[in-house]
Amino acid sequence: MSGTSLDGIDAVLVRFSAGNTQLVAQHFSPFDEAIKAELLALHTPASNELHRSLLVSNQLARRYAHSIEQLLSSAQISPQQVRAIGCHGQTIRHCPEHGYTVQLGNGALLAELTGITVVNDFRSRDIAAGGQGAPLVPAFHHRLLRDVNIHRVIVNIGGISNLTNLSPHDTPSGFDCGPGNLLMDAWCSQHQGLPYDKGGRWAATGTVLANLLAAMLNEPYFAQPAPKSTGRDLFNMTWLAQQLRGDERPEDVQATLLELTAVSIAQAIQRSCVGATEIYVCGGGAHNDTLMHRLQAHLPDLKIASTSALGISPDYLEAIAFAWLAEQTLRKQTANLPIVTGARHACILGAIHQA
C-alpha cells in the first residue's frame, strides 16, 4: 500500500486460514523526495504527463518489488510460498464522477520482477458498476474488527480520512470524511521544511482561526450524503489558498487545518454513526496526539483509541486489507459493499497478473 500521504510503501505478509488473519511480517520503505515530487506533480495536468505517468509506474513496480524482497527476507519466506501480491498502486486521479480512477504501478512488471502473481486495479470494477471505487476497506473492517455486542467506528486518517461504521445490528457502512493529513503535511512542508507535523506539536502552538475553519467547512463535499469519496483532486493546496487571506500566522493555519480534520470526522460520526460507543483510529493520524485529543474533545462520550488497542498496528491495517482484497479476488468472491460505494451490485474486484 502506498497512499495519499505519499510517505512511502507499507508492505505486509499476511496469512489467511480458517477465518483467521495473521500478520506475519511488515516493512516500510520511505519515498525519496524525487519520486514524491513527481507523484505530487502528476496529480494535476502537465506537459507529457502520460509518458511521465508510465515511467513512474515502472519505477513504482521496481520499488514495490524491492520492498517485497526485503519483507520476505526478514520473514525467511521464499517467493514460491506466497500465493499473491495485493497491490493498490499510487492514486494520481480519482474521478468517479467521470467514470474512472487511476492508480499507478505496473502490475505486469511487478509480477515479472517478483515471480509472484499480482492482483491490482481494485477500484475500477466498482466504478464500472456505478460506484465510487472507494472506500474499499469497510468490508475488511467488518470481517476483522466487528464486535457482535459493541457499536464500533473505525477511522482511517491517512492523506484522506474515512470511516467504517460497524454496528452489531446493521450492515456496515462507510465513506470518505474529507482531508486527513494531506493539507497539514503540505502546509508543514511549506513552512517548516518537514514532511509532517510530528505529534501535532506545531499545530498545538497555534490558535484555531474561527472564520477560516467556517469557510473550509462550507465546502459542499462535507454536506454531501454518502456514498461519497474524495482525494487530492479536491482537497489540495490550491483549494487551501482559496480560503486564505494571506496574512495568517502559519502556526494558526496549521492549528485550523488540524481542527478541520477533527471536526469533519466528528461531525461525520455524529450524523452517520448514531449509537456508536467506541472509535478506533488507524493511519498516520493515530500518532498525532493533538489530533487525537481534539477528536476526543469533540466526541467526549465516546471511547477513542488507536487500533493498537485491538492488537492491530494502525500503520499497517490498510495494507493488510489489500492483502485480503487480493485473496477475495483469487477466490472469486465479491469484496465491495454497494451500500458504501454506491455500486449497483457487489463485484469481484481486481485485475490478475499471473506469475
Q: What is the pLDDT of residues 302-333, one digit of tens each?
A: 999 999 999 999 999 999 999 999 999 999 99
**Contact 158/318 with Cβ under 8 angstroms?**
yes
For the stretch 255-293, pLDDT in tens is: 999 999 999 999 999 999 999 999 999 999 999 999 999
Q: Do 65 and 162 share a domain, yes or no? A: no
Residue-level pLDDT at 122: 98
Q: Do 304 and 192 share a domain, yes or no? A: yes
Three-state DSSP at 43 gives coil
Share of the chain above pLDDT 90, in %: 97
Regarding beta strands 118-120 and 85-86, do their DSSP bridges make them parallel or antiparallel, or are they unpaired? parallel
Residue-level pLDDT at 19: 79
Residue-level pLDDT at 36: 94
Residue 324, in any domain of the structure: no
Residue 282 to residue 308: CA distance in whole angstroms: 8
Residue 323, in any domain of the structure: no
Residue 3, in any domain of the structure: no
In this structure, what C-alpha cell is assigned to residue 124? 475500477
In this structure, what C-alpha cell is assigned to residue 22? 495473521
Binning pLDDT at 50, 70 and 90, where does residue 18 land? Answer: confident
DSSP string, 252-308: HHHHHHHHHHHHHHHHHHHHH-TT--EEEEESGGGG-HHHHHHHHHHSTTSEEEEGG
Range 85-110 average pLDDT: 97
Compute the chain's Rg from CA coordinates: 19
Share of the chain above pLDDT 70, in %: 100
For the stretch 205-245, pLDDT in tens is: 999 999 999 999 999 999 999 999 999 999 999 999 999 99
Residue 322, in any domain of the structure: no
Q: Do 126 and 150 share a domain, yes or no? A: no
Q: Do 168 and 183 share a domain, yes or no? A: yes
Q: Do 186 and 101 share a domain, yes or no? A: no
Residue 257 to residue 217: CA distance in whole angstroms: 11
Q: Do 258 and 338 share a domain, yes or no? A: no
CATH of the domain at 234: 3.30.420.40
Residue-level pLDDT at 134: 95
Closest CA to 11 of 28, 31, 23: 28
Tell me which DSSP letter residue 129 carries.
T
Residue 234 to residue 44: CA distance in whole angstroms: 11
Residue 316, in any domain of the structure: no
Burial class (CB in 10 A: 0-12, 13-18, 19+), 354: exposed
Question: Which residues face 174 on adjacent strands?
Answer: 164
Q: Do 101 and 86 share a domain, yes or no? A: yes
Q: Do 81 and 195 share a domain, yes or no? A: no
Residue 224, in any domain of the structure: yes
The pTM assigned to this predicted structure is 0.95
Residue 321, in any domain of the structure: no
How many separate helices (H) and strands (E) can be counted in the chain? 14, 12
Q: Do 31 and 166 share a domain, yes or no? A: no
DSSP string, 51-90: HHHHHHHHHHHHHHHHHHHHHHHHHT--GGG---EE---E
Residue-level pLDDT at 163: 98
Residue 1, in any domain of the structure: no
Tell me which DSSP letter residue 331 carries.
T
**What is the total count of domains within the chain?**
2
In which region does residue 323 sit, left (phi positive, over 0), alpha (psi from -120 to 50) or beta (all else)? alpha
Q: At a CB cut-off of 8 Å and minimum separation 6, what does 131 contact?
A: 96, 227, 336, 338, 341, 342, 343, 344
Q: Do 120 and 191 share a domain, yes or no? A: no
Residue-level pLDDT at 107: 98
Residue 332 to residue 352: CA distance in whole angstroms: 11
Q: Do 149 and 118 share a domain, yes or no? A: no
Range 125-130 average pLDDT: 98
Domain that holds residue 120: 8-131+329-353
How confident is the prediction for the chain on average, in pLDDT?
A: 97
Range 343-348 average pLDDT: 98
Residue 17 to residue 27: CA distance in whole angstroms: 22
Of 15-19, 87-91, 107-111, 165-169, where does mean pLDDT reach its minimum? 15-19
Q: Do 217 and 298 share a domain, yes or no? A: yes
Residue 352 parent element (H or E): strand 351-353
**Contact 307/280 with Cβ under 8 angstroms?**
yes
